[in-house]
Homo-oligomer: A and B are copies of this chain.
Amino acid sequence: MAARTARAEQVSATRELILTAAERLFAERGVNAVSNRQVSEAAGQGNNTAVGYHFGTKADLVRAIVRKHATQIEEIRARLLAGIGDSPDVRDWVDCLVRPVPQHLAALGGPTWYARFCAQIMTDPVLHQIVVEESLTSPSLRQIIDGLTACLPDLPPEVRAERGEMARHLIVQMPAERERALAENRPTPRATWDDAATGLADALVGLWLAPVANRP
Q: How many copies does the complex hold?
A: 2
Interface stretch (choices A9-17, A68-76, A158-166): A158-166
Say yes or no: is A176 at the interface (Cβ < 8 Å to chain B): yes
Is B205 a contact partner of A124 (Cβ separation < 8 A)?
no
Main SS at interface, chain A: helix
Say yes or no: is A170 at the interface (Cβ < 8 Å to chain B): yes
Say yes or no: is A151 at the interface (Cβ < 8 Å to chain B): no
Taking the nearest CB of chain B, how far is it from the CB of A180, in angstroms? Answer: 8
Return the chain B residue nearest A127 by Cβ: B30
Interface stretch (choices A99-107, A138-146, A194-202): A194-202
Query: A-side interface residues toward B, CB under 8 Å?
Result: 27-33, 116, 119-120, 122-126, 158-159, 161-163, 165-166, 169-170, 173-174, 176-177, 180, 189-190, 195, 198-213, 215
